[in-house]
Amino acid sequence: MTEVVNDVDKIAKSVTPLPFTVECTDIQQKLIKKEGPITADNTLDWLTRVKIKDSAYGEQEALIHLNAPYDYHGYRLFQASFIADGKARSITLRVTPESGGAPQDVNIPRAGSATLPDGTRIDFMDFNAQFSLGSEQVETERSVYTNPAATLLIHPPGGEAVKAFAFSPDMAERAPIAKKPVAGYTWRLVDYEKVPLAHVLSIQKDPGSPVVYVGFLMLAMTLGAVFFFSHQRVWALVEERGPQNFEVVLGGNTNRNKLGFGDRFKRLTGAISGEVLEVKKS
Amino acid sequence: MSEALSQPSVLTTPELSIKDSSLMSYFPAMLAVGGAILLTLLRWQTGGEHFISDGALMMLALASYLTAAVFFLTNLYAPSTLFQKIGLWTATAGVFFNASSWGVRWIAAHDRELAILSRQGGEMPWFFRYIPFANLYDLSLAFAFGAGITTLLIAHRRNFRFLGAISLPLASLVLILARFIGGEFINLPPVLDSYWRPIHVGIASLSYGIAMVCFAIAVVYLLKDGVKVEAMAIWSSIFALAVIATIGGTFGTFPILTTATYSASTFLPPRMPLPLRADIPYVGPLLVLAGILLLGVIALFGRYVAKKDEQSKRWGHYLLKASLIVQVLAIVVLVSQVKGITSVAVCAGERPEGTACVDARRFHKFGVWMAEQQGLTPEQTAQIPDDKLERGASNWIQENQSKLFLSLNANPVELAALITAFAATLFVIIFSFRTDKLRAALPDKEKIDSLMYKTGGVAFAGLALLLMTGAIWANESWGRYWGWDSKETGAFVAWLTYGAFLHSRISRGWTGRASAYFAIVAFLLVIFTYLGVSYLLPGLHSYA
């Protein structure tokens, strides 16, 4: 796992080994408007399915999506961000026999396979949104599907596996390579479920979070105490000046809201003008 | 030690208790909340078919708040126990309707989820999933409730019942904003589907409400402290002028001042807002006139404050009243035009009756938006020639213009800001009427100042809890406590300002006017966080 390290004088990236490996098995981007663009604005949720392989705890599968991180033995896996990738979750191929015959449509999920009636197996190896034969791969916006192409590995019955590309029908018209049959078939890419963005997970090991939360709780309680339970003290000095005649001297202080306290204090002093009903002497 | 100290005397006095209020003085607040809970339960039991809707309850709350404010205000000029009582009980009704609206909405959201489930199947989500804290409408309901309940709680002290005259109109403005936003339910994005949402957003709305009351107290303090109404008019006019300058188009383009035209956003059925504005007749020139009058107010009152020129003061008041009339006219015309205009079209030549025209200068922006909707990146869009973008936009608008329509829900913040500017002008005019009598009717400065301190303190504590719960939610959902998101930063700055308000008071002894200015600035920052971030800046909190 790569993480950002904040030292006193620099910020650097470091690689931290994890005691387990994470293998992504599927990603999915749920859209708000299905016919809308595959952008962050139009996204309801990003889902990532992973397989965690750990020598200590074996293998297990997990689903991680927004607001639903996955806790794994003190580690927490979050759906963190995304980067442009330009892949496909599934493809639909139109396979036409070279010898003539009706074309058939085959749907293959990512990293999956399909087998034709004659026993030919097709492995869906890779997908490229901007296929190019040369080295002129466009690196800037890989999530724009200008020249989509699927990379396939064809296993003819009894023959050796051969690599083939399936292009969209309009591109196939332009590229001679696409017209050439491979393993006895022509391969056309007629549909695909776009996955323009790769998901980035963050993995957190944060054994200190309970301490932070307790700190938050204490701060909240202190704030309550500070504002709602001010310390107020009142002293009274009562001196007998004569029979049925007392002098009462009052004093007081408070640590907060002196004006409010002054108000109450004035009312208190104003109230002490009553008649003496009883004098207790001990 | 004197003998008397060891011989305590027992004095009977009617008011010896330091506590001056009984639990019963909180009865209106308890009644409002208790009644709202009962009504919500009743809605739960009886179903929604023949029950009053949350929208209707919200309008009742709005009417009650405004009525209560009128009685409280009248009571200041012509003190009457009856008026005060009517004000208090109408305010109680307002808080009851406000809280009921929110509660009934919760149950209505549950019914909606049930209806979706019966169509599509699936598991019934947990109870807090559809708690109405999902968008700015829900938050506004709770915000207004926060201000209303704080006013009722403060009203347990008879001396401070007048506060409703200022705080309830402010709460009404928030409800008006909610009305313009519109109460449609949204599908909850997964990013919001957490039990931290009711905790975090609930604290936000209540502390915003308390901050609003603190602001109202600060304004009252300034009035009591002898700040000239004309100085207040300068500030309210600057605010109104800023509103007029910025509404009607993209932020920062000053469309009203540069073209004298107001344009409203259009909708595509069923209710999809488009970034395409259509010109509304008459509103622009009226707003320009209001702006000119307000400029005159600022100049004349500025001269009066600086040079004590009585002539300027008199003419300033004339212009202020004239600007109020023009502002009312502009709002009335705007609302009636939006309601009355039946079609939106690209006009060639004269504007047909009942039509809002889309000007050709809007094609480019709309064309860019259309390209984005087709999945093109900004770089790819930039490579498309301008005339092609504009032609595409023009063609689309001409094909679809029969479907486009206008709605009061299209520009909620603009409409609410116009009404707020009008309310600010109105209040300054009210304050200018028998100001000395009004000042005399207000409680002592020290008492107002003390109340401002208390509400500011509670707002500070509330905002601190808001930041804490937000940080915990962020850590639980995204693995980090803080991300410098625009709303996070806004809330943090507002919290710091309330902190500075308290700190300057406790350690530097800044009370009174300086403290009141601090409270006003802090609340403006709260409002910026509440609205400005949602509408102007992108970020994690863009939905609310």
Q: Is residue B254 part of a domain?
A: no
B399: tokens are 């094909």
Residues B374 and B488 in one domain: no
pLDDT tens track for B413-429:
889 999 999 999 999 99
Residue A175 has pLDDT above 80, yes or no: no
Q: Is residue B298 part of a domain?
A: no
Residue B512 or A233, more confident? B512
Residues B242 and B383 in one domain: no
A141: tokens are 């916006």
- Smallest Cβ–Cβ distance between B190 and the set A67, A224, A264 belongs to A67
Contacts of A63 in chain B (CB under 8 A): none
Q: What is the DSSP letter of B191?
A: G
CA of A106 vs chain B CAs: smallest distance (Å) = 27
Residues B444 and B495 in one domain: yes
Binding-face residues of B in 153-212 toward A, CB within 8 A: 187, 189-194
* Residue in chain B nearest A220 by alpha carbon: B465
* Residue B166 domain boundaries: 23-247+411-536
Which uninterrupted H or E stretch holds B480? none
B455: tokens are 């509400």
Residues B422 and B381 in one domain: no
Q: Which of B400, B427, B452 is the last residue of a domain?
A: B400
Residues B113 and B237 in one domain: yes
Residues B391 and B481 in one domain: no
Q: Is residue B266 part of a domain?
A: no
Residues B59 and B91 in one domain: yes
Contacts of B477 in chain A (CB under 8 A): 66-67, 69, 78
Q: Is residue B206 part of a domain?
A: yes
Residue B303 has pLDDT above 80, yes or no: yes
Residues B230 and B369 in one domain: no
| Contact yes or no for A37 and B460 at CB 8 A | no
Is the ipTM higher than 0.85? The answer is no
Q: What local confidence, expressed as pLDDT, does residue B186 receive?
A: 79
Q: Is residue B476 part of a domain?
A: yes
CA of B240 vs chain A CAs: smallest distance (Å) = 33
Residue A282 — very low, low, confident or very high, per pLDDT cuts 50/70/90?
very low
Residue B45 has pLDDT above 50, yes or no: yes
* Residue in chain B nearest A42 by alpha carbon: B373
| Inter-CA distances, B480 with A198, B201, B532, Å | 21, 19, 25
- Smallest Cβ–Cβ distance between A223 and the set B6, B190, B461 belongs to B461
Q: Which of B339, B368, B400 is the last residue of a domain?
A: B400
Residues B415 and B497 in one domain: yes
B343-345 vs B272-280, strand pairing mode:
unpaired
Q: Is residue B191 part of a domain?
A: yes
Q: Is residue B14 part of a domain?
A: no
Q: d(Cα B84, Cα B232) in Å, to the nearest integer? A: 26
pLDDT tens track for B247-282:
877 766 788 888 888 988 888 887 778 888 899 989
| Inter-CA distances, B276 with A79, B185, B397, Å | 35, 24, 9
Residues B393 and B523 in one domain: no
Give the count of domains, chain B. Answer: 2
Whether the Cβ atoms of residue A201 and residue A64 lie closer than 8 Å to each other: yes
Q: How many CB atoms sit inside 10 A of residue A221's CB?
A: 10
Binding-face residues of B in 8-37 toward A, CB within 8 A: 8-16, 18, 20
pLDDT tens track for A148-165:
889 999 999 888 889 888
Q: Is residue B345 part of a domain?
A: no
Residues B443 and B381 in one domain: no
Residue B298 has pLDDT above 70, yes or no: yes
Residue B2 has pLDDT above 50, yes or no: no
Residues B58 and B90 in one domain: yes
Q: What is the mean pLDDT of residues B378-385?
A: 82
